[in-house]
Chain A
């Protein structure tokens, strides 16, 4: 749905150049939630702004739903932007308009008639649960409510994709949860493709199907979250499931991305006559699957065979401490 190839963005300042994007390839599939995570200054916002051409990339092309947006200018570009919704960290609502007026704004821009606008606004406010606030002004709303208005506004022209620039970063944890749930719901129910950027790993864990880690202008890892979790040495896996450091000898980190029906640990002891000791870790829902990452101490003569058996069962086995 979104395909960016070889994206570069160089900001020319008076004395120096800032390379904000340094060769990014981004592929977001239709109907998925794709998260880009990275520290402040990594180039995440620049990447997002290159997708709807708020910034024109220095090099590279961007296609959204097949249309090469980087080739568009003027009226054609403005029309293309109406198919790309955007949600902003600081909401960016018009303070002089009511909630309903804000949601109607992109429809006015698109030339939608007054009656149709009213109908669509009511529908959207219902969707985000703010029907009772239609006549309120943004200053009278909480942060979470403002972001709901931002989301309703972004969805008004029925975009194919939604871009979200740190949509929950200005919100408290409980409100963050409700906004993430709303985004997930919109993704599932409307089939909306979402590209979101965040500096919080937790957001990736909670709603993303695919993710990329961004660092100084490029992706260091990118792919389906479940695939990345099953990749040895993945930084994403380590960041999503940080395991406590351990000095215990013969410890391995086990990662599994689908729950097993078999009682694997007891099977190990029985078949290979090894001692198994779970030291710590977590099991959580990621991308709709139960994913676990555990530090497990495995000791005994048949240790190597036992670990092979686990690998054979589809678990990722990584040595943590020297034997």
Chain B
């Protein structure tokens, strides 16, 4: 029997477990995205405004934030996950399951997203910021009505990259008991050597990434005015 035919035949039997795994993955990624957005966006804004020549220059603050972000960015996710286990337990009461996985996922993605936010905000025309100053705008107005709206397409592109990274992190989280498709791939595919489970999880992960990317691209196209 051919490989695809075999996969098709096994699919109904694997599906209930795969479906639950998909839901767990989406749950982790979604919540981690929300947390990352809420924390990473302000962090990215601060990285830009506290810089020399920024809206509120504060070299010391900027140096500390930059260092924290760099540490977060340079830790391999699998190491970070283990390193924050006690924080995870503190926040969620457990270190297993999709809810627990949200903690390391968010901590891993926040610095990543913050850097992407920083990059898109830096691309905003300085002349426009200056024009807003000349109109008598407050700094908070400049952030809210100039910086963020002008950088919006770039911010969304950054968010999509972050979501895609989170999907791949979530598969890793599965490896240490986070649940989701990664967990299935490890338990069924790796430990029991059932290659069809492995392929099925790969297909589902690819589909989820594709869906996220297409949705993001669509949004960016509609918002881009350049």
Q: Which residues of A contact B (CB under 8 A)?
A: 52, 54, 77-82, 84, 86, 88, 90-97, 105-106, 108-110, 137-139, 157
- B130, A105: Cβ atoms under 8 Å? no
Give Cα distance in the complex from A88 to B136, angstroms.
15
List chain B residues, Cβ under 8 A from A157: 135
> In the bound complex, do residue A106 and residue B128 qualify as a contact, i.e. CB atoms below 8 Å apart?
no
Give 6 A-B contacts (CB < 8 Å), ordered by A residue.
Answer: A78-B136, A81-B134, A84-B134, A95-B125, A96-B150, A105-B132
The answer to whether A92 and B150 touch (CB under 8 A), given A79-B136, A81-B136, is no
Given contacts A84-B134, A95-B150, A105-B135, 4 further A-B contacts (CB under 8 A): A90-B127, A94-B149, A106-B135, A137-B225
B10 at the interface (CB under 8 A from A): no
Contacts of A138 in B (CB 8 A): 225
| B145 contacts partner chain A, Cβ-Cβ < 8 Å | yes
Q: Are B134 and A110 in contact (CB under 8 A)?
A: no
- With most chain B CB atoms within 10 A of its CB, the pick from A97, A109, A138 is A109
Shortest beta-carbon distance from A217 to chain B in Å: 21
Q: In the docked arrangement, what's the CA distance between A105 and B144, Å?
A: 12
Contacts of B145 in A (CB 8 A): 105, 108
Cβ-defined contact, B127 with A92, below 8 A: yes
B226 interface residue per 8 A CB criterion: yes
Q: Which of B125, B130, B150, B225 contacts A54 (CB 8 A)?
A: B130
Contact A94 B150 (CB under 8 A): yes
**A109 and B141 contact, Cβ closer than 8 Å, known pairs A78-B136, A88-B127, A96-B225:** yes
- Give every chain B residue within 8 A of A105 (Cβ-Cβ): 132, 135, 145
B146 within 8 A of A: yes
- Cβ of A145 to closest chain B Cβ, rounded Å: 15
B192 at the interface (CB under 8 A from A): no
Q: Which residues of A contact B221 (CB under 8 A)?
A: none
A150 to chain B: closest residue by CB: B131
Contact indicator A88/B226 (Cβ below 8 Å): no
- Give the chain B neighbours of A106 by CB distance below 8 A: 135-136
Q: Given A78-B138, A139-B225, A139-B226, answer yes or no on A97-B127 (Cβ-Cβ < 8 Å).
A: no
Closest Cβ of chain A to B131, distance in Å, is 4
B137 in contact with A109 (CB, 8 Å): yes
Q: What B residues does A79 contact at CB under 8 A?
A: 136
User: Looking at chain B, what size class is its interface with the partner chain?
Assistant: 20 to 34
List A contacts of B137 (CB < 8 A): 78, 109
B136 contact set on A, CB distance < 8 A: 77-82, 106, 109-110
**A97–B130 CB distance below 8 A:** no
B134–A86 touching, CB < 8 Å: yes
Q: Identify whether the interface residues of B are mostly helix, strand, loop, or mixed.
A: helix
Please determine whether A95 and B134 come into contact, CB atoms closer than 8 angstroms: no
> Contact check: which of B131, B149, B152, B225 meets A92 at CB < 8 Å?
B131
Q: In the complex the two chains form, what is the Cα distance from A96 to B125 in whole Å?
A: 12
Q: A108-B145, A139-B225, A139-B226 are in contact. Are A92 and B128 (CB under 8 A)?
A: yes
Question: Could you tell me which residues of chain B, from 131 to 184, have a CB within 8 Å of some CB in chain A?
Answer: 131-138, 141, 145-146, 149-150, 152
| Cα separation A157 to B134 with both chains bound (whole Å) | 12
Q: Which residues of A contact B131 (CB under 8 A)?
A: 86, 88, 92
Interface pair B149/A54, CB less than 8 Å apart: no
Name the residue of chain A whose CB is nearest to the CB of B149: A96
Per the bound structure, the CA–CA distance linking A242 and B149 in Å amounts to 49
Say how far A304's CB is from chain B's closest CB, in angstroms: 56
Residues of chain B lying within 8 A (CB to CB) of residue A108: 145
A194→B138 CA distance, assembly (Å): 25
**Contact indicator B225/A95 (Cβ below 8 Å):** yes
Q: Give A169 Cβ to nearest chain B Cβ, in Å.
A: 13
Residue of B nearest to A91 (CB): B127
Known contacts A94-B149, A95-B226, A139-B226; A109 and B130 CB within 8 A of each other: no
Render B188-226 as a binary contact track against A, CB cut-off 8 A, 1 for contact: 000000000000000000000000000000000001011
Instruction: Name the residue among B137, B138, B150 with the largest chain A CB count within 10 angstroms.
Output: B137
Residue of A nearest to B148 (CB): A96
Name A94's contact: one of B128, B130, B134, B141 (CB within 8 Å): B128
- What is the bound-complex CA distance between A64 and B225, given in angstroms? 37
Report the bound CA distance from A143 to B158 in whole Å. Answer: 31
Contacts of B149 in A (CB 8 A): 94, 96-97
Quick one: which of B136, B141, B150, B223 has the most chain A CB within 10 A? B136
Minimum CB distance partner of A77 in chain B: B136
Please report the C-alpha to C-alpha distance between residue A108 and residue B128 in the assembled complex, in whole angstroms: 16
State A48–B127 Cα separation when bound (angstroms). 15
Residues of A within 8 A of B125 (CB): 90, 92, 95
Within B55-93, the residues touching A (CB, 8 Å) are none
In the bound assembly, the distance between CA atoms of A78 and B140 in angstroms comes to 13
Q: Could you tell me the distance between the alpha carbons of A95 and B131 in the complex, rounded to whole angstroms?
A: 13
